[in-house]
Structure 1
Amino acid sequence: MSAQLHRVIVVLLLAFANLTNALYDEAVEIIHIGKVISEDIIKTWKLVDSTHFNDEDLPPILIKNNEKKVMSMLKHINSRIQRLDLDVNQIGSVACKITSQRLESQLNLLAELIYQVEATHQLYIEYEKNQNGLEQMTLEDFAKWCVSHDPSALRGLLERIHSLSINPNKHPMGRSLLELILKNLKDQHPDLCDLQLSPHQLIYDMYNTISLTEIKGYAMMQFSWMLLRVYGRGNFTQEASLTRQRYGQRTNQTAAAARAALSQAKRDLYRCDPPQHIEGETYDQVTRLLQGYIENEVDMNADGTCRENCAFYTLAQNHGCFKDQFCSKQPACKGRIIDCQFVDSDMWVCPASAKSNRRYEWIEYENGRTLGRVGSCMRGTTKVDSWWRWLFWHCSYCMCLCDDADFRSHRYFSLHECTSDVKNNKVITGVRLVKHGKVFHLQISEGTLSERGSITPGTWVPIKKFDPFESGIKEGVDYHTLTYERRAIDLDELDSPAGHVLTGVRFSMIGSHLHFEIRSTPFNYATGRLAYDKSQWISNDNTDGTDTPRSRLELHYPDIPSRSHVSLPVDSKHDQYVEFTHSDFDADAAQSTVPFIDVQPVQTLKGGALLSGAGVVHRGADGNGGFIALKVFTYDFSRHIQAETPVNEYYDVDTDTTELMPPLN
């Protein structure tokens, strides 16, 4: 091999190795990578065309200049392309969710083909690293295989990937594989929360995976044509042009299919039930808001009489402890006693632990009715009997509700707004509910927004902790207290207008309802800059006084939600509300406040997705109190997906693009 030929091969190997292998900067999306690669390929072709391989007297300085030109063209792209990451495992995650055997087999085949392209690319990288010790025959054989018409060669692999992904002839009703996946997930798997990806983001990531494979394959094929040209096997100008055209056709068709699927894909993301419910880690509770409470009617009136019945006491309070009966064996309700009812005169009561938020573990009446799950009783049962007074009045034990905001009651919600640092171009990347002391807080994670919607993940922003009873903290300003009359929470799903992103969340009060709001901020997609001075708060301010008031989500016989053996789906709708209430008498002796609060963080698996909205939902079912939970909406990238056909050989490649595809998160 001549020295000149060797130098040119080295230049080509280095050029294309660096174009397709290196780190992927999150500020650069696939379309931009493809565009830059295409442009530099054309420039490199010009260099190849200008080199006279048969001229043995070509001055070494000219060869060196040619090398410098190529490396100069690569310098910019090398600083931006850091990693072409093929997330084939993502396809496997989708495949495991597919119930259609045919579709699952197609996804598995797609993953295998992508693996083969990646294996070829890794071999290509190894050749680049060890180029000085390789024989010409090795590189020439590799180049011939890449552009071979053999269906098992690189060209064939790319066509098969495209056929599986896009070709309507391969699928019924002319749908692309992306659309078929979307339909299957809609029909069979309405909940994708266990993947921690919205359907929109899942389809988008799969599209990125396919597109990245195309870019690698295209670069390797163009390198092969150049290498064969260098070896004197032919001119290959027309072949390279046809390769470029076919690459453009495939990428355009892939983009069109992706836009069609993404326009239909849901963008909401929330958490499923965990494998195991752990209080303080996966859920928390409002405690002792309305709790089952046994009280004798003699202690619910100032006169100490038994002239009425239990139903008379719809709103009462404790006035003492008559003759140290059962009342002396339990803490009295110091708040309001509400909605009493008579069940039976006599009962056995299993008291709860002194450290528990419950009053009773279970209650068993003489008539056979039980409240709660009867079983062993660690503290021993207590016999409680009603009695007659002066033969005329029956002093009955009533089953009531206690609304007592004592030190055991955790019933406060922070009204402090949680906003990202928009002046430093930070946006919300996740949300969660947390309890500190007796107060529930919204908390956000934030990341730095960069060009074309890419995010650098950050950390969770510390909450503003406070005690409701400390000096300077005001109810209605700093926090809201749940009471019997003011225990509703609005269930809304809020999204930003097009071109806006999520930068804030907060609770506020509208009437007696705890109300959720989001802050939306416009941004420039190309530069990633936030227009922070144009931020706006968005909410659904519907009240009971409107023509179409909110509907109430009823909780029917609500048991403790952590007892559920199946994952609870979202059963609420936008523009509803639910009231915190007591658990079912029969199931739990009304000892718990439901719904529980889901405190799992809501953010994408990768922690850095761009979000446009958030909401408060209820996950539950009949016979279950369910959970109050948060959800988020991932940003709609579909309008930014616009593939470009690679420019021809001698077009001006210095033009810019206004509409670019989204980044890989």
Structure 2
Amino acid sequence: MIVRGARVLFALLAIAAPAHAIIDDALDVIRLSKEIGEEVLSSWDIIGKPFNVTGGVELPLIRRREREVLARLAQVTRAIKRLELGIEKTSTIAMLIAKAGGRGARLELRLHEMADLLARVSAADRQMREYVRLQKALERSTLEDFAEWCVSHDQGALPGLLERVHSLVVPPHTHLLGRSILQLVLDDLQEEHPDLCELQLSPHQLIYDMYNTISLTEIKGYAMMQFSWMLLRIYGKGNFTQEASLTRQRYADRSAKTAAAARDALVMARRDVYRCDPPIHKEGETYAQVTRLLQGYIENEVDMNSDQTCRENCGYYTLTQNHGCFKDQFCSNQAACTGRIIDCQYIDSDMWVCPASPSSKRRYEWIEYENGRTLGRVSSCNRGTTKVDSWWKWTLTHCSYCFCLCEEAVGVSERTFSLREVLADIQKNKVVTGVRLLKVDRVFHLQISEGTLGERGAIVPGNWVPVQKFDPSDPGFTNGVDYHTLSYERRAIDLDELDSPAGHVLTGVRFSMIGAHLHFEIKATPFNYTTGKLSPSRSQWISNDNTEGAEKPRSRLDLYKPDIPTRSHVPLPVDSTHDQYVEFVNTDLEADAAQSTVPFIDIQPVQPMKGAALASGAGLVHRGARGSGGFVGVKLFTYDYSRHVRAAAPPAPQDDADEFNPIVN
């Protein structure tokens, strides 16, 4: 199933590739269709005037009109080529065919057919461009043969290729030919590929790009057919006024039905983009850790009270601190907890402890008790094990070693989140095109990339906005205003997926505090889709302010016996839903001796199409599974293009029945 899914994704990328250039060049198929329709109409006007055929027509006149038509065709091909700069050509289709193989499910077979048809139309378009470039050196018969192929009734000719492309998008008989290829793609992406994160392209964007690619193919075909009718008319093969009109009508009909099929698929397609597990986890590159918020810690009860007594048991010490090191026992071999000591428990009197490296964020690699219980993964111990035995005082009281959780002092741990707003420069018409979390100087920040918004959703990619670094210990910075430091009582983070209202785009993100929860918010700004102009004064912050005390409170995402997430042998899927929260906790005792704080923070950038995609929303999600602490990471929502997908019929001449006297051969 995974192999077949990979082949399908290769196919989708190959078919959808041209739309990337559409975004980059700020020109979409609707505008291009209109422009070429107008160019075709004006080109017909050139040759629409009747010839005086008395005594025949001189060859120079034929050549002059031929050159005029081909010059107009050159303008059209240049407009189309603007949408194809930087696009992978036939080699991409060849790669698709090699990857897809010769067998597979219905979707694979149709993707094969679609890729083949698009490649053949593109080949014809390239040949036409070459003929236009070499027109002065070509024989009339060469152009005439090509024009006849472009309008031939043969199934392998251009009209037949376009009809076959259309039948894949809008099957004429659904009970025989099945569903639209766009619906099949939608089903495949949403059911078999829940994690499209490595594509950095949402299912919605992928389907939109496929629609644009198919529409661009229709435009190429329409231009070639119309100019072919013109050439054949110049060469005296007939009037072709009615044929040109039928070509225009059929193109308009196909375009309208393709747009309707695309809208149906786009409305249902997911628009979220996030990151999956990388091939190799690298701290500082793909993830970061909250450190020493809650960490397993061995302490003797004699050192957890100011009287240095052993009258109580381990369970008595639910909240305390270190009060010294009695007679240089095991306490002299480890760093004391400089913060609060929480939730102690008794496991066994005696144990062997494998200490971690001084440079490690851990205290211990593993612990093995005499009763056979082990905490962490017992293996060889580089620094040598230390025997730790509980003991009796002369007062005949037993001083037990307890296993507790240490909440280190703020200066020793890394658990601070910036609450500063992170905004795109909306005064310069810039919008958010990417988001990531990262840790800078012991503080976690949100960071955005921004791009310049243009007409009809076009984005000119920009750069990552520099992080506003600061040191919370400096004067003038306040906890709860400028930053939030996690603590045992205030360690929840809300998991929300926020989208802008219709007609708005994403222009900012921030963390805030709602009660004891670190909370995520987005800034939305309305814009004019046609012109691309933002309305900064009407921007608004959007959040889900639900709390645990509400009538329908947030649900908690529980981490069951969480281990270090980088130890997982399987990819960790998104397991959170909107309106949840998760608490930062210590890893499981048995799995990791409670030495790490989870979830980890995914710091991989989420930047659809390398900053060239329009985004409307963002959120925080948790990726994890039973037995793993998982990762908290960001996601983006690409813009909903469904409301803008429509077909514009090419303009019709004022009088399709203009008199025309063909050339007499």
TM-score higher than 0.5: yes
Matched to 1:286, the amino acid is: V
What do the CA deviations read for 1:293-350 (whole angstroms, capped 9, x no partner)? Answer: 0000010011111111111110010000011111000000010000001111111111
2:37 corresponds in structure 1 to 38
Quick one: which of 420, 436, 439 aligns to 1:416? 420
Deviates more, 1:320-329 or 1:149-158: 149-158
Q: Deviations over 1:523-576 (max 9, x none)?
A: 011111001110000111112222111111111100001111111111111111
Report the alpha carbon displacement of residue 385 of structure 1 after superposing the two structures with TM.
0.8
Q: 1:561 to 1:98 in 2, by over 3 A?
A: farther
Quick check: 1:341 aligned with 2:345?
Answer: yes
Count of paired positions: 631
The answer to which of 469-478 and 352-361 deviates more is 469-478
Counting only pairs closer than 5 Å after superposition, residues 75-94 of structure 1 correspond to structure 2 as: 82-84=82-84, 92=96
Deviation at 1:187, TM superposition (A): 2.3
- 2:539 corresponds to which of 514, 535, 539: 535
Structure 1's 352 and 125: CA in aligned 2 closer, same or farther, altered over 3 A? same
**Structure 2 residue 311 is matched with structure 1 residue 312:** no
- 2:383 matched to 1:379? yes
State the match for 1:132 in structure 2.
136
1:32-71 → structure 2 map (5 Å cutoff): 32-50=31-49, 52=51, 54=53
CA distance in 1 between counterparts of 2:533 and 2:469 reads 31
Instruction: Please state if 1:369 is matched with 2:369.
Output: no
Q: Matched residues in 1 for 2:96 and 2:365: separation?
A: 46
**SS in structure 2 at match of 1:197:** coil
SS at match of 2:609: coil
Q: How does 1:277-292 map to 2 (within 5 A)?
A: 277-292=281-296
Amino acid corresponding to residue 598 of structure 2 in structure 1: V
Aligned pairs for 1:503-582 (under 5 A) are 503-582=507-586
1:643 aligns with one of 636, 639, 647: 647
Q: Using a 3 Å threshold, how does the CA distance of structure 1 residues 359 and 172 change in structure 2: closer, same or farther?
A: farther
Supply the AA of the counterpart residue of 1:83: L
Deviates more, 1:446-455 or 1:177-186: 177-186
- Three-state SS of the structure 2 residue aligned to 1:605 is helix
- Mean Cα deviation higher: 82-91 or 70-79: 70-79
1:254-303 deviation per Cα after TM superposition (whole angstroms, max 9, x unaligned): 00000000111111111111111111111100001000000000100111
The equivalent of 1:264 in structure 2 is 268
Q: Distance in 1 between matches of 2:275 and 2:550?
A: 33
Shift of 1:228: 1.2
CA distance in 2, matches of 1:53, 1:418: 71
* Between 455-464 and 145-154, the greater mean CA deviation after superposition: 145-154
Which stretches of structure 1, 4 residues or longer, exceed 4 Å deviation after superposition?
A: 22-25, 53-81, 85-93, 95-100, 170-174
In structure 2, the residue matched to 1:662 is none
Seen in structure 2, the aligned counterparts of structure 1 residues 62 and 187 have a Cα distance that, compared at 3 Å, is closer
Give the secondary structure class of the aligned counterpart of 2:444.
Answer: strand
Distance 1:572 1:151, change over 3 A: same
For 1:173 and 1:295, locate their aligned partners in 2 and report how far apart those are by CA, in whole Å: 72
Secondary structure, aligned partner of 2:195 = coil
Three-state SS of the structure 1 residue aligned to 2:488 is coil
- Quick one: distance in 2 between partners of 1:242 and 1:68? 24
Does the 8 Å contact 2:511/2:521 carry over to 1?
Answer: yes
Structure 1 regions of 5+ residues with no counterpart? 1-21, 653-665
Q: Distance in 2 between matches of 1:137 and 1:63?
A: 13
Report the secondary structure of 1:614's partner residue.
strand
- 8 Å contact 2:293–2:413 — kept in the other structure? yes
Question: How far apart, in 1, do the equivalents of 2:192 and 2:216 lie?
Answer: 29
Counterpart residue number, 1:388: 392
**Distance between the aligned counterparts of 2:325 and 2:634, measured in 1?**
44
What residue identity is the alignment partner of 1:418? V
Distance across 2 between alignment mates of 1:540 and 1:480: 19
Separation in 1 of the partners of 2:109 and 2:259? 23
Q: Is residue 2:590 matched to residue 1:586?
A: yes
Map of 2:11 onto structure 1: none
What is the deviation of 1:168? Answer: 4.6
- CA drift of 1:53 comes to 7.6
Q: Using a 3 Å threshold, how does the CA distance of structure 1 residues 52 and 474 change in structure 2: closer, same or farther?
A: same
C-alpha distance in 2 between matches for 1:577 and 1:99? 45
Distance 1:539 1:584, change over 3 A: same
Provide the rounded CA distance (Å) in 2 between the counterparts of 1:481 and 1:96. Answer: 51
Question: 5 Å matches for 1:380-459?
Answer: 380-390=384-394, 392-459=396-463
Give the alignment partner of residue 629 of structure 1, picking from 628, 633, 641: 633
Counterpart of 2:30 in structure 1: which amino acid? I
The answer to whether residue 485 in structure 2 is matched with residue 486 in structure 1 is no
Offset, 1:173: 9.1
Contact 2:24/2:612 (CA < 8 Å) preserved in 1? no
Alpha-carbon separation, structure 2, partners of 1:234 and 1:166: 33
Task: Give the alignment of 1:22-37 within 5 angstroms.
Answer: 26-37=25-36
Distance 1:104 1:328, change over 3 A: same
Distance 1:57 1:195 in 2: 59
1:214 counterpart = 2:214: no
- Asked if structure 1 preserves the Cα contact closer than 8 Å seen for 2:527 and 2:534, the reply is yes
Task: Pick closer, same or farther for the CA change 1:58–1:135 going to 2, 3 Å.
Answer: closer
Separation in 2, partners of 1:365, 1:25:
63
Aligned-residue RMSD, C-alpha: 2.9
> In structure 2, what residue type is equivalent to 1:303?
D
The structural deviation recorded for 1:50 is 2.0
CA drift at 1:79: 7.5
Counterpart residue number, 1:11: none
CA 1:171 to 1:631, structure 2 compared with 1: closer, same or farther past 3 Å? farther
Which residue among 231, 248, 260 is the counterpart of 1:244? Answer: 248
Partner of 2:14: none
Distance verdict in 2 for CA 1:582–1:53, change over 3 Å:
farther
Q: 1:76 to 1:479 in 2, by over 3 A?
A: farther
How far residue 474 of structure 1 moved from its aligned partner, in angstroms, is 2.1
Pick from 193, 214, 221: which aligns with 1:189? 193
8 Å contact kept, 2:418–2:511: yes
Q: Secondary structure at the match of 2:268?
A: coil
The letter of the residue matching 1:567 is P
Equivalent residue letter for 1:270: Y
2:277 pairs, out of 273, 286, 292, with: 273
Pick closer, same or farther for the CA change 1:131–1:613 going to 2, 3 Å.
same
Moved more, 192-201 or 554-563: 192-201
Kindly tell me: are residues 369 and 155 of structure 1, through their superposed partners in 2, closer, same or farther at Cα, counting changes over 3 Å?
same
The question of whether the paired residues in 1 share the 8 Å contact of 2:69 and 2:230 is answered with no
CA contact (8 A) 1:520 1:535 kept: yes
- Within 2, Cα distance between the matches of 1:268 and 1:76? 36
Counting aligned pairs with the same residue, the percent is 64
Cα distance in 1 for partners of 2:522, 2:103 equals 37
Q: Deviations over 1:143-185 (max 9, x none)?
A: 1111111111111111111111221525679631101221222
Question: Is 1:351 matched up with 2:350?
Answer: no
**CA–CA separation in structure 2 for the residues paired with 1:97 and 1:503:** 43
In structure 2, distance between residues paired with 1:171 and 1:590: 59
Q: Does 1:293 align with 2:292?
A: no
Look up the match of 1:19: none
Tell me whether 164-173 or 65-74 shows the greater mean CA deviation: 65-74
How far apart are the structure 1 equivalents of 2:459 and 2:507? 13
Correspondence for 2:662: none
For residue 408 of structure 1, report the CA deviation from its aligned partner. 3.6
Where structure 2 has 5 or more consecutive residues not aligned to the other structure, the ranges are: 1-20, 657-665
For residues 178-224 of structure 1, give each alpha carbon's deviation from its aligned partner in whole angstroms, at most 9, with x where no partner exists: 01221222222222222211111111111111111111111111111
The two structures have a TM-score, normalised by structure 2, of 0.90
